[in-house]
Structures are given as structure tokens and as C-alpha cells.
Amino acid sequence: MNSETLAVSRTAAIARLKSHQQQHKWSLRELFASDPARAGRLSCEAAGIYLDYSKNHLRNETLQLLLDYAEQIELSQQISALLSGANINNTEHRPALHSALRFQGQPQTEHERAVADCRKQMQHFAEKIHSGSWRGFSGEPIRHIVNIGIGGSDLGPRMVVEGLRPWHRDDVSVHFVANIDGADLSDTLLGLPPEQTLFIVASKSFSTLETRQNALSARQWVLAAGCREDQLAQHFVAVSSNIVAAQDFGIAAENIFPMWNWVGGRYSLWSAIGLPIVLACGYDAYEQLLSGAHAMDAHFANAPLEDNLPVLMALIHFWYRQCWNVGSQVVLPYAQRLAKFPAWLQQLDMESLGKSVNREGHALQYPSGSVIWGTEGSNGQHSFHQLLHQGKDLIPADFIAVREPTSELHEQHQWLLACCISQSQALLRGKSLHEARQELEEQGYTHREAHALAPHKVVPGNRPSNTLVLQRLDPYSLGSLLALYEHKVFVGGCLLGINPFDQWGVELGKLLGAQIHAAIGGEAPPDWDASTRNLLERLF
Ligand code: F6P
């Protein structure tokens, strides 16, 4: 289908959805009351993840309209193109083959063979660290790993390492440094013995300002502790697709783990960027993570669109974004160890879908990416949930629950799950004016007092959510969960007709950052805006 026909289908589909939304007024309470089978009908399960999407503003006709649109844009063919390695990143002329990073069984393609070699390299390296045969400059084994990276070279491995705490080995501790604020590196290094510390410089491009500066400072820290220049190789390894730049930095060729331009930064935790996961949790856990993601890939590739978890989640958000004036989505993992999940998802979703032109470079006539935010449940309940319940904006929520307890405090786990379920129930049900008045009168308020106070206690309800359930928080389920969101974002890009795999917008800030840095202590060019010149003077 050519791009003009696609654009026409998209405009027509959005118009149909809008008119459907305006014609049919319904409440979630009514939808549940009229259909006792709704929760069972609007839920599905794949690769260890159960999705209940029944608390959404969906009627049969809504879903049909959304699925018709998916057919019109040939979504299944677009999914096949992604997974088969077509050059779908059209502005950078490359495939987006993160799914090849989690292949299972014998490697079949050139990409998979390269991945298999890299996995062996990671496994051997981890064995040397874990066995203590990799020594630092003083002859002592390495006991601390510091990953220096930012964005995709930090958020994924950091989140997974934190998520899999029970798998942590006790022979090494793994730390992460991302920020160019020196406090990040200094605070992390405080108390670490340089002779037992190894740095992973993780940067696909090996040109990222923050990572290079932190790596240079780390180098000085090791040298200052008595390491000779010719011993630095014992303390630095790199993960990069820019082998020359990593070698120029002084990292030995055999200590550079490859990355490939067909893996986007925000999809890279499955590559050697996941080395901190292997070091913290062991190679077997990393393999389980890959196999969970692979199971979700297989589901994504093969399940019919109407039962396809990533497709359903993307369609539902498309519906809200285009027709319900929704500008943000909140993600609430009810699992302390998934506290970093929202930050990982922010990069994945917002760097992918925050675009204003379509694949052909034409201005979008409809909204695109929305704001992703959230925190671990139940903490959010005592900070921002007020806005979810009584604020003026409709903010769809994704609740993530883990069935098995993640600690030995089983009773607390029951409370945690109760909190999770009750929040989605409260968003759905709300509290009417009548209910609020009645409740107040039952509490002993006079009729007059109840009338005055009740409007403040009204909770509109009718607010949608998904609930995702993992049986347990283990490497397999986590891999599957992350792949689910990756594919949801890809489908989001297809529905919007944009390229979700580039991020040109980030470049301008990088360029200007270098220009401002060069202007420190000198004359700022007169054609710069007065605020920028004023701030330069004030800060330096
Ligand atoms: O600045 C955005 C970005 O390009 C991300 O896409 C990427 O994950 C991050 O920077 C880090 O890039 P690199 O791995 O090349 O250092």
C-alpha cells in the first residue's frame, strides 16, 4: 500500500473512531453491569503475562473499528517486516532487529551467528570475573563492576539488575553511573577499592558526552590509586559499535564487546549492553531473560491481531490518544523491584513516538507520542493518585501485579495486591454525588453538612486501566514483559505512521551543549538570545 493511500486510511479511521466515540455514551460501570462475561472476554494471556483489558472504554464495535484499521494499514505485514529484518528504520536505512538478540536454539542467520559469538564472549568474561581469575592491577580479583552509560546503555540493564535482586551473586556487586553530574560517579565510587573495581564503558556510539567524561574521570581514579597505564586494560572493558573510538580511549580490542547498528540504543539491553545483568545475576538468568522475550516475540509474530497482547495495548492507547484527548499514560508496577521500570519505559516510548512527521516526512495532522510517567505501587497512591482519581484529565493506567510474593513478608504481599486491585477498581467505579451524600449522612453529618461536603468527595470514576499479571518476578517473566512493551511501542509507531526507531530531536541539544560549553568564560555570540547569554554570565 502506498503512503498516500495509508494516510487516507488513517484519517478515515480516526474520523470513524471519533464519531463512534461521540455517538455512544457509556460508562465502564454500565459496560460491566450489562455483560457479566466481560472480564473473561476482554483478557488474554501469552508468554507468562496475563492482560486484563476489560476496564477500558471498549465495546465490541470499538474493538472492531480498531482492528479494521490495523488490517487496513497491513499491520501483520509490518510486524513480519520488523521481525524479518527489513530496513524499517527508513531514516537511518537499517533494520531494527532487537528480536534477533534473543533468538533461541541454533543460530540461523548472519545476525544470529554474530549474536551467538557475542553471547560466548560475555559468558567467558563473566566466568573469569566470577571465578576471580580476572585480576586488577594489584593482583586482587575484581569484586565491583561499575557500568558507565546513559539512556539505553544504562536504563535497561539498571532496571533488570534491580528487578532480579534475588538472583544476585555474592561474589560481585554491580553499580551504575549515568549522569554527567560528578556527584553520580563520586558517590558511586565512594568506598569502592580501585584495585578490585572494573568499569564497563557502555556506549553504542562511544561519543556520548556524559559517558566519555565519566569514563575519563574513572580512568583518572584508577590511575591515581597506583594502576599503571599498561594495566588499565584490567579495569576497563567496553560495549560499543564504534570499536575504533573505544580503542582510542585505551580499551584493549579483546575487551570490546560488539554492538551493531541494527540494534537501537533503547532496545539494547538484550545485547552486550546487558553485560551487567550477566555479571550481577549469572549467565543462566540472562538466558532466561532472553527466552522470556523470545516467547513474547513468538506470540507477537503468530497470534491473531485480536488476541495479540502488544497489538491490543497499542490499539487501546491509540483510541484514547486520538479520540479521548489523552496526553499521558501512567505505569504502576506494584513491585518494589520494578521501581525503575517507568524510567526505562519513558525512554522506550517517548524517544520512539515523540515525533511530528510521518515516515515520509510530512507533518502529522493528529497527536503522536504521549507522556509516560509513574512509579512503584503502592507509593504513588500517597502522592499523585489523587490526580488520577479526581483531576480533570483522563489518564489511562497500566497496573502491573506479581502473583507470588517477592519477599518472605507474605502478608505484606497480600496487602500490596489488594492495593493494586483496589486502585483500578476505584478508577473504574468512582463515587457519585448521591453515594457521597449518603455516606456522609450515615457518618452522622447533618443533611446540610452532607450537601456542602459531598461535591468534594465525588470521584468521577469511569477511568480506564489495564492490569498485567506476572506469576512471579523472575528473569523469564521480566524478559517477556519488556518485549511486550517494546512491541506495543512498535505497533504504536505503525498506527501513527511514523518511524519509531530514530531520535533526531536529541541531536540539537547535544550540538548546542557543545557550543555553550565552548563559550564558557568567553564572549557569547551576540546573536544568541538574551536569556541564554544572561544565564552563561550568571552561572560562570
Ligand atoms: O541521547 C539519546 C541516545 O542517543 C539514546 O538513544 C541512547 O540510548 C543514548 O543516547 C546513549 O547512546 P550511546 O549508547 O551511543 O552512548
Q: What is the mean pLDDT of residues 400-428?
A: 97
For residues 22-28, average pLDDT:
87
Q: Does residue 281 contact residue 126 with C-beta atoms inside 8 Å?
A: no
Which residues are paired to 398 by β-bridges? 331, 466
User: 329 and 397 in contact (C-beta within 8 Å)?
Assistant: yes
Q: How many angstroms separate the Cα of 23 from the Cα of each of 18, 19, 26, 62?
A: 9, 6, 10, 12
pLDDT, residue 2, reads 76
How far away, in angstroms, is 344 Cα from ligand 1 center? 13
Confidence category of residue 442, pLDDT binned at 50, 70, 90: very high
- Per the prediction, the chain carries an average pLDDT of 97
Q: What DSSP letter does each residue of 129-174 carry, written as one string?
A: HHHT-SB-TTSPBP-EEEEE--GGGTHHHHHHHHHTGGG--SS-EE
Lowest mean pLDDT among 339-353, 363-377, 409-423, 503-517: 503-517
Q: What is the mean pLDDT of residues 35-51?
A: 97
Indicate if the pLDDT at residue 443 is higher than 80: yes
What is the atom index within ligand 1 of the atom nearest the CA of 265?
Answer: 8
C-alpha cell recorded at residue 355: 515525533
Identify the helix (H) or strand (E) that includes residue 31.
helix 28-33
Q: pLDDT-based confidence at 6, cuts 50/70/90? A: confident
pLDDT of 148: 98
Kindly give the distance from the C-alpha atom of residue 83 to the centroid of ligand 1, in angstroms, as a whole number.
23
Q: Is 144 in the pocket of ligand 1 (CB under 6 A)?
A: no
Q: Whose CA is nearest to atom 3 of ligand 1?
A: 151
**Is the confidence at residue 37, as pLDDT, over 90?**
yes
Q: What is the DSSP string of 297-318?
A: HHHHHHS-GGG-HHHHHHHHHH
CB atoms closer than 10 angstroms to residue 305 = 16
Q: Which residue among 155, 204, 350 is best mutated to probe the pocket of ligand 1, counting the most ligand atoms within 8 A of its Cβ?
A: 204
Q: What pLDDT, on a 0 to 100 scale, did the predictor assign at position 5? A: 83
Q: List the grid coordinates of 486.
A: 517494546
Residues 394-419 have a mean pLDDT of: 97
Closest approach atom of ligand 1 to CA 503: 6
**Mean pLDDT computed over 474-492:** 98
Residue partners of 10: CB distance under 8 A and separation at least 6? 69, 73, 366, 497
CA distances from 314 to 311, 417, 436, 466 (A): 5, 25, 36, 12
Whether the predicted pLDDT of 1 surpasses 90: no
Q: Is residue 521's pLDDT more than 90?
A: no
Tell me the catalytic residues. 351, 382, 510
Rounded percentage of the chain residues whose pLDDT exceeds 70: 100
The C-alpha cell at 99 is 528480536
**Ligand 1 within 6 A of 15 CB?**
no
503 lines ligand 1 (CB under 6 A): yes
Task: Decide: 214 in ligand 1 pocket, CB within 6 A.
Answer: no
Please provide residue 181's backbone torsions phi and psi, each rounded to the nearest 5 degrees: -60, 115
| Residues above pLDDT 90, as percent of the chain | 96
Cα angle: 427, vertex 432, 434; to 5 degrees: 160
Residue range 112-157, pLDDT digits in tens: 999 999 999 999 999 999 999 999 999 999 999 999 999 999 999 9
Determine the pLDDT at residue 25.
80
At CB < 8 A and 24+ separation, what contacts does 29-36 make?
29/428, 29/429, 29/461, 29/462, 31/57, 31/58, 31/59, 32/428
Look at residue 24 and tell me whether its pLDDT is greater than 80.
no
Contact 508, 330 (CB under 8 A): no
pLDDT at 515 over 90: yes
pLDDT of residue 8: 86
Residue 3 has pLDDT above 90, yes or no: no
Nearest CA to ligand 1 atom 16: 203
- If you take atom 6 of ligand 1, which residue's CA is the nearest one? 265
Give per-residue pLDDT as tens, 52-91.
999 999 999 999 999 999 999 999 999 999 999 999 999 9
